[in-house]
Structure 1
Amino acid sequence: MAAEQKPNLSVWTRPRRTREQPALSRAQIVAEAVRLLDADGLDTLSMRNLGARLGAGATSLYRHVANKDELIELVVDEVYGEIEIPDPDADWRAGATACAHSMRAVILRHPWLASVLGQVGLSYLGPNVMRLNDRMLGVYLAAGFDLPEADQALSVVAAYVIGISTSEAAWLTTLARSGQDEAEWADRLRETAVLAMAPYPRLAELTALYAGQDQPREDRFDYGLRRVLDGLAARLG
């Protein structure tokens, strides 16, 4: 009896079909899926909705992707291709900083991204993801880390960026749904926040300290990133 075939774990682990429907390519499907996700969010992504946007039936999409999980793997890798890859000969800290800021910008442009990372398939096998990770390993190796610690450095910086940017993207999504900008939201909330924090002396002092001042999100992000990189620099002695 023939051995039982194991199911594919990922779009990256099965052979790609060589015959493609001329009227619809994988690249077209992925590009339209990204536009749908950016406009309407993850909850609206389905093969039927995507097919309707492309003027094709869901069956046509299944010629290129087996299911929604495979589609998400493809769109994750697609947007990872937008992240700036530093020059391998650049200063390691400058390269890590540029890459981190670029990753943050990508997450803010595509706020659905962070919510799907690690949830489906083997997204880390996508060519754009692997290209980025391989180059960043080279940056940390050139700085003086050995390969295992270069891997740890890559992971800890990515974890910081994804964590803080996910919260920031969620906040911006809430703000967009409210129809207000950040200044309007702060003005509306200020009196309530002052009353809520009054029983807590340190929070009340902090609120008073920041009264009438902008706290740029970019500065908060950069502060945390600098402290993470300071820690890595200390490991280099």
Structure 2
Amino acid sequence: MTGKAYSSVWLREPRKATSPGRSREEIVRAALELLDEEGIDGLSMRKLGAKLSAGATSLYWYVANKDELLELAYDETWGAITVPDPEEVGWREAASVTAHSVRQVMLRHPWLAHLLGRLPALGPNAMRVADRMRQTFKLAGFTGYEVDYAVATFTAYIYGMTLPEIAWNATMVDGEYDADAMRAQVMKAAADFPDMLERIDMDTYEDPRVMRAVAFDFGLLSVLDGLERRLVT
């Protein structure tokens, strides 16, 4: 009995362009534009072919299916992530810059929320980021499997904080936010919880985007503090 064969666009050699001006890179750029404009559901081989003034069937020369196209677009976004050399800036600074960069890339491309954990991250950009993350936590002092555990903890924090933010942003209408109306609704829901009401009924309050950025940084520093503490116990 054999298991299902594993398939990825990165496990085979890319095919060369079949016509002047057409390349896999051009197709990926166009796919990214569609994804940013319309999301996962808005991407199809037919729409992409129309955007490129090419038949959908011609695109199958480069990718076997939509998932392979998504793999290529997915890796392209990893290329936008800044991962400093920990040997140059220190492991905590490298980790902090990486975390904030991953968050920003995810917020710029909210469709990534649908791909995390579903598609393999085997492209050159993703592998570069993963390798640099491992270097970062090895420099911190982790060894063996604990390097992997530290990286997993680090990335879980980033995704766990950013995915709800993406979901929240998706509910906004044209980016509008009525802070007074939102506060009134929350106060009504929290009427039986005085401690929460005391916090909500502030004279001043921040833009929620600022609050989320501050909360992200607070949590990130706490995670890094916790990981560092493990190294001295």
- Same fold by TM-score, threshold 0.5 exceeded? yes
Report deviation, 1:7: 5.4
Report deviation, 1:203: 2.0
Aligned match of 1:3: none
Q: Which moved more, 1:102-111 or 1:18-27?
A: 18-27
Report deviation, 1:220: 0.7
Going from structure 1 to structure 2, the CA distance change for 1:18 and 1:50 (only over 3 Å counts) comes to closer
Maintained 8 Å contact 2:32/2:73? yes
Gaps of 5+ in 1: 1-5
Aligned equivalents of 2:230 and 2:113: distance in 1? 29
> Identity of aligned pairs, percent?
47
Is the partner of 2:54 in helix, strand or coil? coil
The answer to whether the aligner puts 1:196 opposite 2:196 as a matched pair is: no
The answer to whether the aligner puts 1:165 opposite 2:153 as a matched pair is: no
Aligned equivalents of 1:31 and 1:147: distance in 2? 38
The count of residues paired between Structure 1 and Structure 2 equals 226
Aligned match of 2:26: 28
Gaps of 5+ in 2: none
Please show how residues 43-54 of structure 1 align to structure 2 within 5 Å: 43-54=41-52
Is the partner of 1:198 in helix, strand or coil? coil
Aligned match of 1:104: 103
Deviations 1:98-131 (A, max 9, x none): 00000000001001112211213x2x21110111
Going from structure 1 to structure 2, the CA distance change for 1:71 and 1:180 (only over 3 Å counts) comes to closer
Please show how residues 1-80 of structure 1 align to structure 2 within 5 Å: 9-18=7-16, 20-80=18-78
Aligned match of 1:220: 215
Report deviation, 1:211: 4.7
Deviations 1:169-209 (A, max 9, x none): 2212222xx13533xx222222222112111223222212x
The answer to whether the aligner puts 1:92 opposite 2:96 as a matched pair is: no
Aligned equivalents of 1:233 and 1:22: distance in 2? 53
Maintained 8 Å contact 1:20/1:64? no
Maintained 8 Å contact 1:32/1:50? yes
Maintained 8 Å contact 1:51/1:58? yes
TM-score, structure 2 normalization: 0.90
Aligned equivalents of 1:235 and 1:119: distance in 2? 31
Aligned equivalents of 1:236 and 1:199: distance in 2? 43
AA partner of residue 23 (structure 2):
S
TM-score, structure 1 normalization: 0.89
AA partner of residue 159 (structure 1):
A
Maintained 8 Å contact 1:80/1:128? yes
